[in-house]
Amino acid sequence: MSAAPPLAPLTGTTGAPATVPPFDQVAVRVAPGPDLVVRLPGVLLVVGVTNQPTGPAAPAAKPALVGWGSAPVPAAPVTAPAGDAHVGELVALCRRVSAAGSRAPGRRLHEELRTWLGTVADPPSFAVTAATEDGLTLVLVGGGGAEVPDLGLRLTPAQGEKLDNGTLVLDRFVTWPPAALHLSAGSPADTAPHPLADLESGAVPGAAAVLSPAPAPSAPGPTPSATMQVRLPAPHARVPLSTAKPPARPVPVAPSAPAPDHAGRDHAGRDHAGSDHAGHDHAGHDHPVPAPVAAQPSAPAPVELPAPARSALLFGGAAEAEPAREPLPTPGAASSSAPAAAEPEDERPKVKGILCKNGHLNDPRAGFCALCGIRTTQQTAVLIEGVRPPLGLLVFDDGATVSLDMDYLLGREPETDERVASGQLRPLLVLDQTGGVSRHHAEIRLEGWDVLLVDTGSANGTLVAPRGAPGWSSLVPDQPVRLTPGMAVRMGGRQFAFESPHGGF
């Protein structure tokens, strides 16, 4: 198979990091037709099949049961799908990639299909899409097509490349469209898909598959009904007392005062809380009046105690004189003759930057702190030298990330380089099944606050694409290029992106 066309950078149309839509939760409607529609976790395939007559039907045997009438008339021959081995291989390949358990199998399926198409002389027409970490991958072969009618977008294999056997192929990474995506293998769809149809998984006949747009994130719901709100009483509100009363302390009562009854009300109709019950009749109640209680005796006068002693011995005998102590060291005085142990020197790289008010060192060109996010423009423009923090991450196509805290050598066998053996560079192994990555392919150099990428004279070269760029650019060997946040890098069949919190500049 000939070399693949350059892939699109790993960013959306807006340049912001995208999230993986719920591919397996989006509805897929199927239009009736003779082809085959296959939906697997993370994968949707429409592949064309050829139909052929089944041949004359065999004469039916005479019925052996009485009363069932004469033998039926043989039915006319009908067409049935042909057993194309390549269709079975394609479906099995999609099942194998989907069963690997990846949340977004699009990139692996893309590589598997490129390998498989190089071994097939006459592949069937098909259109397949699968989820990636930032959108979808599309592979169209033969008569396959993909279109978004609501936006007027359409892709065909004619926009891709032609293989050595003459087969047209288009493979491309795209963002998730905001409207329905139609996939077909070339057969006309005479009937529109039913609006209530939804293929969740499996393989069914059909001429086209319609993948609905990803649902928008829902707003946070209301407070759960199980949550109970309790209103506390006001400080002046009356709170009912418990029925169990503690034993009351005898209180002297004047003989002229009316005695309270058992409910805490006097004969005037007032309770102890001050409420008036004038309408209540107390004429028919007989309440005994308790006898007067003698007054409590007054408390005795306080006894005058002697003043405490300033000091006293717990045990007998005179206190022993405390021996003289050496004076404490005076700050700023000459140090002792013994030299202090020298602290180990910090060999980490130093850079000059601006400290935020929380003490984080930042690039002088940045307007916000990379750790806490506060503005650094409020600080003075005096540069402070400190230990350089990691300048970003390399995010590879398989999900692996590498923190950039020192210089790296990327390649198939980076450990064989002398600079790696001496500790000058750290090795970063990049495995590529296509064999497009050299033994010593490229270097990552950290100079000040910049991250530089240098192609070391690799056989297949190194491609870069800044965020939002329409295509790839090839690096000149041994000439460094500064990486910017969101820039994508391609080495052979592998790809990674550079992300950094220190800029956007």
Q: Is 420 helix (H, G, I), strand (E, B) or coil?
A: helix
pTM for this one?
0.40
Assess contact for 258 and 284: CB atoms under 8 A.
no
> What is the per-residue pLDDT for 269?
45
> What is the per-residue pLDDT for 129?
94
> What is the per-residue pLDDT for 22?
74
Structure tokens at 475: 């690096």
What's the half-sphere exposure (Cβ side, CA atoms, 13 Å) at 379? 24
User: How far, in Å, CA of 444 to CA of 294, rounded?
Assistant: 100
> What is the per-residue pLDDT for 3?
45
> What is the per-residue pLDDT for 470?
87
Assess contact for 123 and 144: CB atoms under 8 A.
no
Each residue's pLDDT, cut to its tens digit, for the chain (505 residues) gives 444 444 444 343 334 334 455 788 889 999 998 899 999 999 999 999 876 555 555 555 555 566 676 666 666 655 555 557 889 999 999 999 998 877 789 899 988 998 898 888 889 999 999 998 888 999 999 899 999 998 889 999 999 888 877 788 999 988 888 899 999 998 888 788 888 888 988 999 998 999 988 765 544 444 444 444 444 455 444 444 444 455 555 445 444 444 444 444 444 444 444 444 444 444 444 555 555 555 566 666 666 666 665 655 555 555 566 777 778 777 765 555 555 556 666 677 888 887 887 778 887 777 778 777 777 665 666 777 888 888 889 999 999 999 998 999 999 999 999 999 999 999 999 999 888 999 999 999 999 888 999 999 999 999 999 988 888 999 999 999 999 999 999 999 999 999 987 654 4
Q: Nearest to residue 169, comparing CAs of 191, 195, 135, 138? A: 138
User: How far, in Å, CA of 107 to CA of 137, rounded?
Assistant: 7
State in Å, rounded, how far the first CA of the chain is from the last one.
Answer: 40
191: amino acid identity, one letter: T
Structure tokens at 72: 């039926």
Backbone phi, then psi, for 411, in 5-degree steps?
Answer: 170, -175
User: How far, in Å, CA of 331 to CA of 126, rounded?
Assistant: 84
User: How far, in Å, CA of 358 to CA of 378, rounded?
Assistant: 12
Q: Beta partners for 426?
A: 408
> What is the per-residue pLDDT for 299?
64
CA dihedral 210, 211, 212, 216 (to 10 degrees): -170
> What is the per-residue pLDDT for 19?
44
